[in-house]
Amino acid sequence: MTTARPPDFLTALAVGDLSVFQPDDVRRDELLADLVAAAWGTHGEFIDADQFLTKPTVLRRLASILAARVPAGVDRLVGRDPHSLVLGAALALETGLPLVVARVVESGDGPRLGLHGELHAGERVLVVEGVTGTGASAAEAVRAVRERGAVVAGVLAAVDRGHGAAELLEGVAVTLDRLFSDDELRRTATRGRAAS
């Protein structure tokens, strides 16, 4: 049995193989620590997306790691204004996939989620979320995408707070993939603190 030689440094860089620097699990663990340092506890015991999505070094590494989780065959990304739009834009830059902006607009029936940007019937779309809670925002984006005739390949979140998003999305036949869970963030944030 022969094993493939690892690519040389320049070849690895040319194809975006960052494992020449450090393994993916180490990159993920370092990002987790930085995410907690940037955003945990600024408004209580939870992660504040405004805090980590506004830090370029955290956002850049987050987009790099999330890019590997984008399903094959996705044609476009959807990012919801305001929070998830930042992450959607960063992921679009990282992957080269076009971005559709989901924004609440006034209509004759009251406010509703509108999609802005090029989107064609039959295209496969990935909804991008910074932080999911109940999943209502993501489910609304799924509905808007389907109304335009596109297919939702899934929802990709940086953080899932574990407040029912996965179950709600499952109810509309969409899978939630998240990089970090709220429990994981909480364990990292409280590591070393005495139990009260």
In tens, the pLDDT along 111-168 reads: 889 999 999 999 999 999 999 999 999 999 999 999 999 999 999 999 999 999 999 9
- The average confidence (pLDDT) of the chain is 87
**Residue 38 falls within a domain, yes or no?**
yes
**Residue 63 falls within a domain, yes or no?**
yes
- Looking at the structure of the chain, the number of domains it has is 1
**Residue 195 falls within a domain, yes or no?**
no
Nearest-10 crossing angle of helices 24-39, 182-190: 70
Confirm if 79 and 93 have CB atoms less than 8 A apart: no
In tens, the pLDDT along 71-120 reads: 999 999 999 988 799 999 999 999 999 999 999 998 888 888 999 999 99
What is the rounded CA–CA span in Å between residue 17 and residue 117? 31
**Residue 79 falls within a domain, yes or no?**
yes
The one-letter amino acid at 55: K
Q: What was the pLDDT predicted at 18?
A: 62
| Per-residue pLDDT at 23 exceeds 50 | yes
**Residue 3 falls within a domain, yes or no?**
no
The one-letter amino acid at 127: V
Nearest to 75 by CA among 181, 147, 134, 153: 153
DSSP 81-124: TTHHHHHHHHHHHHH---EEEEEEEEETTEEEEEEES---TT-E
Strand-pairing partners, residue 44, are: 42
Give 47's DSSP letter.
B
- CATH code of the domain containing 26: 3.40.50.2020
**Residue 152 falls within a domain, yes or no?**
yes
Confirm if 37 and 127 have CB atoms less than 8 A apart: no
Q: What was the pLDDT predicted at 94?
A: 96
Domain that holds residue 71: 21-190
Q: What was the pLDDT predicted at 20?
A: 66
Average pLDDT over residues 21-49: 77
| Residue percentage of the chain with pLDDT more than 70 | 86
Which H or E run contains 127?
Answer: strand 124-132
